[in-house]
C-alpha cells in the first residue's frame, strides 16, 4: 500500500515538478540574455580570437533551443494538470476534491486551504491524506481494468 501511495504522490506532484523545470530553464535563459547586453561586453581588453567561433551566435542558438524546450515543457505541464484534475474529479468527497485541487494544482498554502474549506488545518491534512488514499484505490482499479 505504501508503494501505491508513493506513486499517487508522484503523480500528483507532476505539474509542480514540471513548473520547477520550466523555472530553472527560464532562469538560464535570463542569465544567457544578460550576457548579450552591451554592459556584458568589455571593449577595454585586447583579445586575440583564437578560434573562428562566434560566441554571440552560439549564445543566441542556446537561448532559442531553451525557449523551445520551455514551450514543450509548458505543454506537458498543461497536459499533466488536465490529467491530475480528471483523476481528482473521480473522488466522491467534494472536500477531498477541493483540498487536493488546491494543494496540488493551485499550490495554495495549508492555512488558506483550511480557511477555504471551513475546517482546521489538522482536519484539512486528514482530508488530504484520505483523498490520496482514495485516489490510490481509484488508480489501482483503473489499472486493473486495462
Q: Tell me which residue has cell 499550490.
A: 107
In Å, the largest CA–CA distance within the chain is 71
123-139 pLDDT, tens digit each = 999 999 999 999 999 88
- DSSP secondary structure of 99-135: HHIIIIIS---HHHHHHHHTS-HHHHHHHHHHHHHHH
Torsion of CA 17, 19, 23, 25, to 10 degrees: 70
Domain boundaries, the chain: 2-42+55-145
pLDDT band at 18 (very low <50, low <70, confident <90, very high): very high
43-89 pLDDT, tens digit each = 555 555 555 566 788 889 999 999 999 999 999 999 999 999 999 99
Amino acid at each position: 500500500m505504501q508503494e501505491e501511495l508513493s506513486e499517487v504522490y508522484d503523480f500528483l506532484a507532476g505539474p509542480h515538478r514540471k513548473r520547477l523545470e520550466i523555472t530553472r530553464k527560464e532562469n538560464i535563459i535570463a542569465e544567457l540574455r544578460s550576457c548579450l547586453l552591451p554592459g556584458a561586453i568589455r571593449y577595454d581588453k585586447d583579445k586575440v580570437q583564437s578560434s573562428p567561433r562566434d560566441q554571440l551566435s552560439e549564445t543566441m542558438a542556446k537561448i532559442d533551443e531553451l525557449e523551445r524546450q520551455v514551450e514543450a515543457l509548458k505543454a506537458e505541464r498543461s497536459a499533466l494538470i488536465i490529467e491530475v484534475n480528471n483523476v481528482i474529479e473521480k473522488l466522491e468527497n467534494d472536500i477531498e476534491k477541493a483540498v487536493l485541487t488546491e494543494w496540488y494544482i493551485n499550490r495554495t498554502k495549508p492555512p488558506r486551504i483550511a480557511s477555504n474549506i471551513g475546517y482546521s488545518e489538522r482536519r484539512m491534512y486528514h482530508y488530504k491524506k484520505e483523498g490520496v488514499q482514495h485516489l490510490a484505490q481509484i488508480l489501482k482499479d483503473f489499472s486493473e481494468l486495462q
